[in-house]
Chains A and B, each alone.
Chain A
Amino acid sequence: MAMRDLVSGGAACAVPGSSSSSNPLGALANALIGSSSKTQERLREIPTATATTSDGNLYAGVGEPFTAALPGSELEHALYPNAQGSEFLQGFRSMDQNRFSDAWDDIQNPQSHFIQPMNGPTNFNGPPQRVLSNFLHSFLHSGQGSAPFGPTSLPVLGLSEGDKQCIRDRSSIMARHLFADKSEDFIHAQVNALLSSLDIDGDIRARGPIPGRSPELEDYWNESQGMKPGPHGADGWVSEFTQHQVPRDDPNMWIQSFERQHGANGWASEFEHEQSQLVSVDQMRGSNIPSLAAMEQTRMLAHTLAQNNDPKFQNSKFLQFVSKMSRGEIGIEDNQFKPAAFSAPGNWATEYEQQYSGGRSWADQFSNEQLSHGPHGWANEFAAERELHGGTENEWVNEFSKLNVNDWSEEFERQVADGVLGDGSADNWANAYDEYLDEQASLKQKSDSSRGVYVFSDLNPYVGHPNPLKEGQELFRRGLLSEAVLALEAEVLKNPDNSEGWRLLGVAHAENDDDQQAIAAMMRAQEVDPANLEVLLALGVSHTNELEQAAALKYLYSWLRQHPKYGAIASPDQPENLYYADVARLYNDAAKLSPDDADVHIVLGVLYNLSREYDKAIEAFQTALKLKPRDYSLWNKLGATQANSVQSADAILAYQQALDLKPNYVRAWANMGISYANQGMYEDSIRYYVRALAMNPKADNAWQYLRISLSCASRNDMLEACDSRNLDFLQKEFPL
């Protein structure tokens, strides 16, 4: 019987698995294997392993050494075609010779035949597009510099390189199982966020993603068509090349695959080495993503996971584990995860110390840097300078190491002021120090605002203005949001109890694409005036943008309760836990009660965004727009919802409406850019980001979006302009 029959289900293979000679396969097995007695002998050599009766007749009639004869064993060293096997192979092939091309087409266009379960209503719960981009950034960002000032390792963790590699690789692989319908970048970012909270560099040598499939399939197909034995020279090389082709946009992956082919000793490892050196140099410069921010990212990841409405997911210990990790409550010691003795949130100083002290004070850092930089760069200069200045600096360094973290900056400042360091040489120092201070400031800002503390700008020209509120309202009306923010800050500094000042400040921040500050300002507004409907609604929206469902529901519920018309619908004592479904039901009731109230439809739209029922959300916003056609922020909401539901083309129309109504609406410009980027129109997206940035250069998110689009559009030549935030140059290059 030919293997063909076996494969096509010929009657002769009806004797399953028996080695009796009536079965050709069995006979073949007998001939090839031989040796059952020998096998059993060998097995008995394993201490007291007992052969059971069930295999009694398995190796009947044999004599030769088993191991040498195990089918296939010879193939490990010498590959030669085996007549039987070829026939077997033939069996598969001969089935359908004529339809190969069809099959190939199918594989090329799998939609036509392969069922696409992903197209149906999906249960995957990723964050909406905007958040996804945020994740993407943080990854890109960390890819350039990664981790904070002293990133090598947190002393408490005691993780070996191997452990880190393990965590990195395994979480990457698992994340791909969980976030299958997300982009590789998304997954990478997710994992990275997780890893950064453990202070592990996520991106350096993590297990790469699945290689692109289509180039490979070509190979499969050639193989299965039996074309393999053809001229092996050039063709073989080409096919090998194709086989190892990987998506080109990820240099790490490429290195990895190179390494896999050529071993770790090739130049790839050298490159990697250099790269990691570069990374560490970057880290020393302090151009790094702060780990607090990373922790924040992990918090978002936890949130994302927690978005699944299934109560089982809400209770999942795995998800709690992730979220604990994100809050820094879990550290790793001796190869085990342990609850960490982390500070209570809010205590910035302690947190700071935890991150930067522990044997890695700034002074230490300095001496390390000095060592690692060797004869290069500023360290050298500094050393030279030190010689010039004789003992002063030695003292200074000594003093440094004695100082408390909180004192040394003043000390440094004092010394700089005293001119001890001299001018030119101190520049590098001063720069590094400034950068460091900036970083500290932004860290502080992030950590504070995430807790709802409003962070004021320094050097506010409007302080002392006779009527900053009026000025702020005017600036806001003219769309000069950044200026309006300053004026309104001056107002609330002057009158901390002015709810309207806080509210408008919050709105300005929201329109400027800064939800954290918006929330902080709105919370102050709400403290002053707990029943302000606009404030409650704004808080609900901002928390939705930040994916904070519980908080969003709380404020939306309060809105309903405070509302004169709908107060009766909501029960007066707010339940401990608000459930999405309950709140949505109440709002649906409200909509029935007064179908002409645009605000109710707006809230419904927001709620449906929370539950990711984007179609319903779009419908709700459209209804609201019929009632309030000139509400630009409503058009923006509609656009964002459409973008989230993968209707980027429609979204652009909606954003355009918003911009027609309010030409300097930064958020809409930036959102427009995102929608173009989502459609792969990177050149266009760049123009919109640049426009948004021209209006608000402080929109950090937009800078990061811009950087991504520049890379995607292969405009690496402009990255420098982006990194140095050279707006003039960018505007000339990308006029709108």
Chain B
Amino acid sequence: MPVYKTPFNGYSVKFSPFYENQLAVATAQNFGILGNGRLHVLQLGPTVTERASFDTADGVYDLCWSESHDSLIVAAIADGSLKIYDLSLPPAANPIRSLHEHARECHGVDFNTVRKDSFLSASWDDTVKLWTVDRPASVRTFKEHAYCVYSAAWNPRHADVFASASGDCTARIWDVREPGSTMILPAHEFEILSCDWNKYDDCIIATASVDKSIKVWDVRNYRVPVAVLNGHGYAVRKVKFSPHRGSVIASCSYDMTVCLWDYMVEDALITRYDHHTEFAVGVDMSVLVEGLLASTGWDELVYVWQHGTDPRAV
């Protein structure tokens, strides 16, 4: 399957929810410590071609595609801003919005998949903010976490419910109609870097932590995790539920590998892909093509492959 080389270090990769052959990659120079960033939009074919790219003054840490407009992408920038790009416009007209409210690095964005009207941003300023594409200012700020918030994820069924993962070692469940968080999940003993909801069971959430584990939780009974997935050798950077199989989870880690898990079975690790030569920090599963995976890492490579095949095989 195709490989694409980005000039900067990869930070995040996401398939378009509209076109099976499109994906976008967030990258940052110097491992995101200092320097510029670039957002790539890639077209999959026999080879990977770049459809567009946008430069930013600081690293791009994450991105999400709009669920309502096939050409809109929201990017989370290390300078704390969120930038909205419209692919149907020439580069000069982009970004069409720059929303600067976060006091520190923006590390995660997620577009609402139910009502498809809003998105969340998670920031190192310890807050999560709720935005709509058409408003110049955030709708709400959720400030409860005591340390960096690394990611926020909408519940796939309830338009107002989302989860956030933070370095304060908790994940929190929120309902935007509520003043505060609805639930606090002291999920790990170490920082939590990512969380995601099961796409088939709206009460199941997975958290990924610096403690090298992924834990799966049922929010109805969160005292004990439903499953603990051990196998990564370093901090787990991202976790993602499969859009096609309820019990399948993809993850990537500072141990440079991408793993696929089935948390329902005892021997949970399905496959380990070790194609990256630096920290693997971005992974996604296509909603439109079952089994199609994408990953990126600090080796400046974007891999797209079918589950079960070797990502490096051309």
B residues near A110, Cβ cutoff 8 Å: 186, 189
Contact A170-B33, Cβ < 8 Å, known A92-B219, A220-B186: yes
Contact A88-B182, Cβ < 8 Å, known A6-B158, A49-B72: yes
Complex Cα distance, B219 from A224, in Å, reads 13
Other-chain contact of B224, A113, A243, A315 (Cβ < 8 Å) = A113
Task: Answer whether residue A46 sits at the interface, using C-beta atoms and an 8 A cutoff.
Answer: yes
Q: Are B68 and A43 in contact (CB under 8 A)?
A: yes
Complex Cα distance, B33 from A2, in Å, reads 47
Other-chain contact of A89, B88, B182, B234, B254 (Cβ < 8 Å) = B182
Other-chain contact of B279, A71, A84, A113, A318 (Cβ < 8 Å) = A318
| 10 sample A-B contacts, Cβ–Cβ < 8 Å, listed by A number | A9-B203, A19-B115, A47-B96, A51-B69, A59-B117, A95-B221, A170-B32, A180-B212, A316-B256, A332-B34
Task: Answer whether residue A81 sits at the interface, using C-beta atoms and an 8 A cutoff.
Answer: yes
Other-chain contact of B69, A49, A81, A167, A315 (Cβ < 8 Å) = A49
Task: Answer whether residue B271 sits at the interface, using C-beta atoms and an 8 A cutoff.
Answer: no
B residues near A213, Cβ cutoff 8 Å: 168-169, 186
CB of B11 to closest CB in A, whole Å:
12
Q: Could you say which of B44-52, B135-143, B240-248, B260-268 contacts chain A?
A: B135-143
Task: Answer whether residue A152 sits at the interface, using C-beta atoms and an 8 A cutoff.
Answer: no
Q: Are B178 and A42 in contact (CB under 8 A)?
A: no
A residues near B124, Cβ cutoff 8 Å: 169, 173, 207
Q: Mark A92-114, 1 if CB is under 8 A from B, else 0.
A: 10011001001100110010011
CB of A323 to closest CB in B, whole Å:
14
A residues near B256, Cβ cutoff 8 Å: 312-313, 316
Q: Could you say which of A72-80, A393-401, A446-454, A658-666 contacts chain B?
A: A72-80
Q: Could you say which of A116-124, A461-469, A515-523, A591-599 contacts chain B?
A: A116-124
Task: Answer whether residue B113 sits at the interface, using C-beta atoms and an 8 A cutoff.
Answer: yes
B residues near A7, Cβ cutoff 8 Å: 203, 219-220
Q: Are B139 and A210 in contact (CB under 8 A)?
A: no
Contact A337-B191, Cβ < 8 Å, known A7-B219, A85-B178, A318-B279: no
Q: How large is the interface on B (under 10, 10 to 19, 20 to 34, 35 or more residues)?
A: 35 or more
CB of A538 to closest CB in B, whole Å:
34
Contact A180-B117, Cβ < 8 Å, known A72-B139, A75-B140: no
Complex Cα distance, B68 from A92, in Å, reads 31
* Top 7 A-B pairs, shortest CB-CB distance: A72-B176, A42-B134, A79-B179, A17-B114, A180-B210, A220-B184, A85-B178
Complex Cα distance, B71 from A317, in Å, reads 34
Task: Answer whether residue A431 sits at the interface, using C-beta atoms and an 8 A cutoff.
Answer: no
CB of A90 to closest CB in B, whole Å:
10
**Chain A residues touching B, majority SS:** helix
Cβ-closest chain B residue relative to A46: B96
Complex Cα distance, B97 from A545, in Å, reads 55
Contact A70-B18, Cβ < 8 Å, known A180-B190, A321-B31: no
Task: Answer whether residue B170 sits at the interface, using C-beta atoms and an 8 A cutoff.
Answer: yes
- Which chain A residues numbered 378 to 414 have a C-beta less than 8 Å away from chain B? none
Task: Answer whether residue A177 sits at the interface, using C-beta atoms and an 8 A cutoff.
Answer: yes
Complex Cα distance, B240 from A421, in Å, reads 73
By CB atoms of chain A within 10 A, which of B124, B138, B156, B210 has the most?
Answer: B210
Task: Answer whether residue A33 sits at the interface, using C-beta atoms and an 8 A cutoff.
Answer: yes
Contact A71-B177, Cβ < 8 Å, known A17-B156, A117-B228, A177-B254: yes
Task: Answer whether residue A115 sits at the interface, using C-beta atoms and an 8 A cutoff.
Answer: yes
Q: Are A71 and B69 in contact (CB under 8 A)?
A: no
A residues near B278, Cβ cutoff 8 Å: 316-318
A residues near B35, Cβ cutoff 8 Å: 335-337
B residues near A335, Cβ cutoff 8 Å: 34-36
CB of A209 to closest CB in B, whole Å:
8
Complex Cα distance, B134 from A70, in Å, reads 12
Q: Are A117 and B277 in contact (CB under 8 A)?
A: no
Q: Are A216 and B228 in contact (CB under 8 A)?
A: no
Residues of A within 8 A of B (CB): 6-9, 13, 16-17, 19, 25, 29, 32-33, 39, 42-43, 45-52, 54-55, 58-59, 66-67, 70-73, 75-76, 79-82, 84-85, 88-89, 92, 95-96, 99, 102-103, 106-107, 110, 113-118, 120, 123-124, 163, 166-167, 169-171, 173-174, 176-178, 180, 207, 210-211, 213, 216-217, 220, 223-224, 228, 243, 312-313, 315-318, 321, 332, 335-337
Q: Mark B22-47, 1 if CB is under 8 A from A, else 0.
A: 00000001111111100000000000
Q: Are A48 and B86 in contact (CB under 8 A)?
A: yes
Q: Are B178 and A88 in contact (CB under 8 A)?
A: yes
B residues near A171, Cβ cutoff 8 Å: 33
Task: Answer whether residue B282 sits at the interface, using C-beta atoms and an 8 A cutoff.
Answer: no
- Which chain B residues numbered 50 to 81 have a C-beta less than 8 Å away from chain A? 67-72, 78
Task: Answer whether residue B93 sits at the interface, using C-beta atoms and an 8 A cutoff.
Answer: yes
A residues near B67, Cβ cutoff 8 Å: 54-55
B residues near A66, Cβ cutoff 8 Å: 117, 132, 134
Q: Are A337 and B159 in contact (CB under 8 A)?
A: no
Complex Cα distance, B72 from A76, in Å, reads 26
Other-chain contact of A177, B78, B173, B193, B230 (Cβ < 8 Å) = B193
CB of B301 to closest CB in A, whole Å:
12
Other-chain contact of A48, B17, B88, B97, B223 (Cβ < 8 Å) = B88
A residues near B33, Cβ cutoff 8 Å: 166-167, 170-171, 174
CB of B295 to closest CB in A, whole Å:
15
Q: Are B139 and A76 in contact (CB under 8 A)?
A: yes
Q: Are A114 and B117 in contact (CB under 8 A)?
A: no
Complex Cα distance, B126 from A681, in Å, reads 36
Complex Cα distance, B134 from A393, in Å, reads 70
B residues near A116, Cβ cutoff 8 Å: 189
Complex Cα distance, B33 from A337, in Å, reads 10
B residues near A17, Cβ cutoff 8 Å: 113-114, 156-157, 159
B residues near A70, Cβ cutoff 8 Å: 117-118, 130, 132, 139, 176
Complex Cα distance, B141 from A76, in Å, reads 7
Q: Are B115 and A29 in contact (CB under 8 A)?
A: yes
Q: Are A50 and B158 in contact (CB under 8 A)?
A: no
CB of B64 to closest CB in A, whole Å:
15
Cβ-closest chain B residue relative to A212: B146
Q: Are B140 and A73 in contact (CB under 8 A)?
A: yes
Contact A106-B223, Cβ < 8 Å, known A48-B89, A49-B72, A50-B88: yes
Q: Are A85 and B156 in contact (CB under 8 A)?
A: no
Q: Are B220 and A337 in contact (CB under 8 A)?
A: no
Cβ-closest chain B residue relative to A39: B117
Complex Cα distance, B299 from A9, in Å, reads 42
Other-chain contact of B158, A25, A42, A224 (Cβ < 8 Å) = A25
Complex Cα distance, B274 from A33, in Å, reads 46
Task: Answer whether residue B180 sits at the interface, using C-beta atoms and an 8 A cutoff.
Answer: yes
Q: Are A210 and B147 in contact (CB under 8 A)?
A: yes
B residues near A75, Cβ cutoff 8 Å: 140, 176-179
B residues near A318, Cβ cutoff 8 Å: 31, 278-279, 298
A residues near B188, Cβ cutoff 8 Å: 114
Complex Cα distance, B175 from A317, in Å, reads 42
Cβ-closest chain B residue relative to A123: B233
Complex Cα distance, B180 from A55, in Å, reads 30
A residues near B31, Cβ cutoff 8 Å: 174, 318, 321
Complex Cα distance, B178 from A307, in Å, reads 49
Q: Mark B150-187, 1 if CB is under 8 A from A, else 0.
A: 00000011111000000111100101111111111010
